[in-house]
Structure 1
Amino acid sequence: MFEQSSSHSFFRLRESAFWATAVEQTLKQYDLSLRHSSVGGCLFSEQFEAEGFIDQQFCSLIWSEATRIADDPLLGLRMHRVFSPTAFNTLALAASASPTIGDALNLLTRYFPIVSTQLTLKVEMQEDTVQLLLRPIGETHPQHMASITGYLARYFTRIDLDGEGLLFAIQLADHHQLHEHSCKQLLKNQVVSFADHYTLSLKRALLSKTLPTASSLLLPKLTEILQHMLATLPSSALSEQVKRRIHLLLGSGDISAERVAGPMNISQRHLRRKLSQEGTSYEQLADEVRREAALRMITDGQLSLTSIAYELGFLDPSSFTRAFRRWTDMSPTAYRRELSKKSPAAS
C-alpha cells in the first residue's frame, strides 16, 4: 500500500504487519524470536500492533534480521510449511470456491494485494503454458519473494487433486541455486530452475477444468469479504487506486489514462511512470478491470452479451469476444453456457 505526500509526487510503500508475525512464527522452529533481537525487538511495540502496517524498509529489516539469526538462507521458502497467514488462507479458500482453475487464477491475481502490497502477480498466456510472474514493487526483500512463491506453489499443488501436473515448473532467483537440492525438497520436488525472477508455470489446458471444491453458495460471500478487505485498506497501491477509478468510469465511454490521472492530481505521464515502477501499465490495469467486470456480469446473467460488450467500452461485440477469448480461452457464449451447466450441480 502507498501513502501519498501532499505533493502527490511521492508514494511510501507499506506492508501488512501480519508478515512480521509470520516471520516470528517461522523462527519458533529454531527456538528463536525477533523480540529478543536488538534490531527486530523495536518493531513489536504497542504502536506497531495498533497500526497494522509497516513500511517496506522495516519489513525488509525484519526479513534480514530473521535470516541472520536463523542462519538459514531458505527461511522465506520454508515459511509456507510452518505458518500460513489468515489473509492468504481467506484468498485461497475463495479461489478454491471458483468454478474452474482459470477462475481461481483470476481471483488470486485480482485480490492478491490483501496478501502483500510488495509485488504483483502477472499472468502471461503462452501456447501450452500459463506463466505466473511475481513482479516486485519497490525494494522487495528476496526472502519475501521466496515466501510467496512457496505459498502459491503449495496452493496450486493442493487444487491439483487428480495429480495432472497443473504446476509443472518453478523458477527461483539465481541466488537459490547454491541450495538447489533443498529448494526442490521444500517445493515437493517440483522442477526447479533459476533465473533473475520468480515464476510459476501452469498447464494451460487445465485452466478450464472444473474445481471439485467449487461452491456457488460460498463464492459470492467470500468475494464480498475480499472486496471489503481490499476496500478498507487505509490507502492502497497506486495500481489499485487506478483500477478502482477505472471501475467507476466503466460504461462512460472514456476510461483514458488522462481522465483517471486528473482527480489524482498527477499528470498522465507521471501516472504511467509510477505504474511502470510497480511492474504494470495503465493498459494492463484497464484490461484487468474489463476482464473482472466481464466475468462478473456474465455470471450475474442480468445483461445480454451485446450489452456487456458496450458497457465495458468495446466498439462492437466481436472486439469483446476476441478479448474474452484471450482472457479465458473461451467465447463469452461458451462461458455462459458452461456456467448454466454447472449451476444445478453447484453446492
Structure 2
Amino acid sequence: MTQSTSPLACQRLQERAFWVQGIYKALSYCDKSPEQLPDHLQSLCSADNLTATKVSQAQMNQLWQAAMELTGDPHFGLHMGQMTCGNTLKVLILAASSSATAGDAIERIIHFFPIFSTQAQLYTTEDEQYLTLYLQPKGNPHAMHIEALISQCEKIWRAITPEKLPLVMETRLPQDSDRNRPLYEQALGCKVRTGSKRIAVRFNHQALREPLSSADDFLLRRLDTSLEDMLSELPNVDFAEQVKQRIRQLIGEREVNEELVAAPFNMSPRHLRRKLSAVQTTYERLLDEVRMEIAIRLIREARLSLGRIAYELGFLDPSSFTRAFRRWTGMSPTAFKDNALKDRAAS
C-alpha cells in the first residue's frame, strides 16, 4: 500500500489535528524530529490548537509523504498506528468495550467513526457466516493514512473480542503481492488476504452475539451523549459523497450528466447545484474528483491501456485525458503509470 505519488486531494475533507500529533509522536519513536520536516509541515500542530484545528487532506498527504521519506519506512502508517493511541481513539475503544456485545460495538464504531477520521467511511454487509466491514477511502487520502486507520482499528477489535471466541477471521487488502503479508498479519493479529478490490475485515457471526464482560450501560449512555455532541459539530459532507457515489455508478454505465445525477435525490439539477453549493462544491468539481479517483485506481491496477481508461471515463480523446490528468496530479498518465509500477516492484 505504498504511495509515492500525491494525487489531488479533496479540499472538503478536513482532518482533526490530533492525527498530526500522532505522526509527530511516531517520528520521535523513530529517532526523528518534526524539525526535520519541510518548513510548512512543522507547524501544522501546536500545543494550544489541537481541539480546534483542522488539517486539509492535501496537507495530511504531504505530511504522510514527508514522514515516510524522512524515516525511510514504506509502512510508516502501519507502524504509527501500532505505536500511538490518542485520546479520541481511547474514548471510542471505551465506548465499544462498554457495549453489550461485539456486534453492538461495531455498529457504534461505524456511527461515530467520523469523529476519529474523515478520510474514510465504514459500512458492512453480511451473510449466514460472516459480517464483513469495509473501509472506503474518501477523496484521495495517502496510503499511509489508510494503513494507520487499519492498524488503529485493530486496537478496537482486540478490545471487543470475546474471551473464548475469535472475532476477526481475516483482513483483506488491495495489494498485488504477498511479499508484505507476514508484516500485516503480525501488525493486525489475524490472517491477511491480498489482492482484494476493497479493504475489508471479516467478523465471526457467533462472536458478534457473545456478551462482552466489559459491558457497562451506565457508562455507555454518557459516552454516547458526548460522542453524539462531537459528531454534531463535524461539517456535513455526506451529501457531496452521496452525489459522488451516484456519479461513479453512472460513469460505470458510460452515461453521466447533471439530470441523471439529480434524479435519485428527487430534485432538479438547479436544486442539486444549490445543495452542493451549501457544502462548498459543484457538480463539475465532483465529476472531476470521481474521474481522477477512478483514473488513478485503474492506472495503478495496470489492467487497461491508457486509451481504454480515457474511454471508460468519458473523455473524447486521449489528449483530453492527458491534459486533465496533468491538472490533477502534475504529471502525465504515462509518468504516473511508471511511478506506480516502481511502487509495486518495491512493495
Q: Is the Cα–Cα contact under 8 Å of residues 159 and 211 in structure 1 kept in the other structure?
A: yes
Map 1:90-101 → 2, pairs under 5 A:
90-101=91-102
The residue aligned with 2:298 is none
Whether 2:25 is the aligned partner of 1:25: answer: yes
The residue aligned with 1:252 is none
Pick closer, same or farther for the CA change 1:64–1:211 going to 2, 3 Å: same
Moved over 6 A (4+): 45-48
The residue aligned with 2:191 is 191
The residue aligned with 1:181 is 182
Map 1:1-347 → 2, pairs under 5 A:
12-39=12-39, 40-44=41-45, 51-174=52-175, 177-188=178-189, 190-195=190-195, 196-233=197-234, 235-239=235-239, 257-258=265-266, 265-266=274-275
Instruction: Please give the secondary structure, in 2, of the residue aligned with 1:214.
Output: coil
Q: Is the Cα–Cα contact under 8 Å of residues 114 and 230 in structure 1 kept in the other structure?
A: yes
- Percent identity of the aligned residues? 24
Q: Is the Cα–Cα contact under 8 Å of residues 14 and 118 in structure 2 kept in the other structure?
A: yes
* Residues 59-83 of structure 1, C-alpha deviations (whole Å, 9 max, x = no match): 1111111111111111111223211
Pick closer, same or farther for the CA change 1:203–1:50 going to 2, 3 Å: closer
Q: Is the Cα–Cα contact under 8 Å of residues 96 and 160 in structure 2 kept in the other structure?
A: no
The residue aligned with 1:7 is none
Deviation of residue 113 (structure 1)? 0.1
Deviation of residue 197 (structure 1)? 2.9
Pick closer, same or farther for the CA change 1:66–1:238 going to 2, 3 Å: same
Q: Is the Cα–Cα contact under 8 Å of residues 63 and 144 in structure 1 kept in the other structure?
A: yes
Q: Quick one: which amino acid aligns to residue 25 of structure 1?
A: K
Please give the TM-score of this superposition, normalised by the length of structure 2: 0.64
Q: Is the Cα–Cα contact under 8 Å of residues 97 and 159 in structure 2 kept in the other structure?
A: no
* Residues 296-334 of structure 1, C-alpha deviations (whole Å, 9 max, x = no match): xxxxxxxxxxxxxxxxxxxxxxxxxxxxxxxxxxxxxxx
* Runs (5+) with no aligned partner, structure 2: 1-9, 243-263, 277-281, 291-347
Q: Quick one: which amino acid aligns to residue 91 of structure 1?
A: L
Distance in 2 of aligned mates of 1:88 and 1:264? 36
Q: Is the Cα–Cα contact under 8 Å of residues 176 and 183 in structure 1 kept in the other structure?
A: no
Pick closer, same or farther for the CA change 1:116–1:176 going to 2, 3 Å: farther
Q: Is the Cα–Cα contact under 8 Å of residues 17 and 51 in structure 2 kept in the other structure?
A: no
Deviation of residue 42 (structure 1)? 4.6
Q: Is the Cα–Cα contact under 8 Å of residues 80 and 154 in structure 1 kept in the other structure?
A: no
Q: Is the Cα–Cα contact under 8 Å of residues 27 and 70 in structure 1 kept in the other structure?
A: yes
Deviation of residue 48 (structure 1)? 6.7
Deviation of residue 130 (structure 1)? 1.0
Q: Is the Cα–Cα contact under 8 Å of residues 48 and 54 in structure 1 kept in the other structure?
A: no
- C-alpha RMSD of the superposition: 3.2
Pick closer, same or farther for the CA change 1:55–1:47 going to 2, 3 Å: farther
Pick closer, same or farther for the CA change 1:69–1:217 going to 2, 3 Å: same
Deviation of residue 210 (structure 1)? 1.1
Q: How many residues align?
A: 250
Instruction: Please give the secondary structure, in 1, of the residue aligned with 2:180.
Output: helix
Q: Is the Cα–Cα contact under 8 Å of residues 32 and 71 in structure 2 kept in the other structure?
A: yes
Q: Is the Cα–Cα contact under 8 Å of residues 133 and 200 in structure 2 kept in the other structure?
A: yes
Between 1:214-223 and 1:197-206, the stretch displaced more is 197-206
Q: Quick one: which amino acid aligns to residue 266 of structure 1?
A: K
Distance in 1 of aligned mates of 2:33 and 2:19? 14
* Residues 116-150 of structure 1, C-alpha deviations (whole Å, 9 max, x = no match): 01110011112201111100000011111111111
Deviation of residue 181 (structure 1)? 2.2
Please give the TM-score of this superposition, normalised by the length of structure 1: 0.64
Instruction: Please give the secondary structure, in 1, of the residue aligned with 2:121.
Output: strand
Q: Is the Cα–Cα contact under 8 Å of residues 181 and 194 in structure 2 kept in the other structure?
A: no
* Runs (5+) with no aligned partner, structure 1: 1-9, 243-255, 278-347
Deviation of residue 151 (structure 1)? 1.5
Pick closer, same or farther for the CA change 1:86–1:236 going to 2, 3 Å: farther
* Residues 175-197 of structure 1, C-alpha deviations (whole Å, 9 max, x = no match): 67432222222223x11111343
Q: Is the Cα–Cα contact under 8 Å of residues 153 and 167 in structure 1 kept in the other structure?
A: no
Q: Is the Cα–Cα contact under 8 Å of residues 97 and 212 in structure 2 kept in the other structure?
A: yes
* Residues 68-127 of structure 1, C-alpha deviations (whole Å, 9 max, x = no match): 111111111122321112111111211211111111111100010000011100111122
Distance in 1 of aligned mates of 2:175 and 2:73? 16
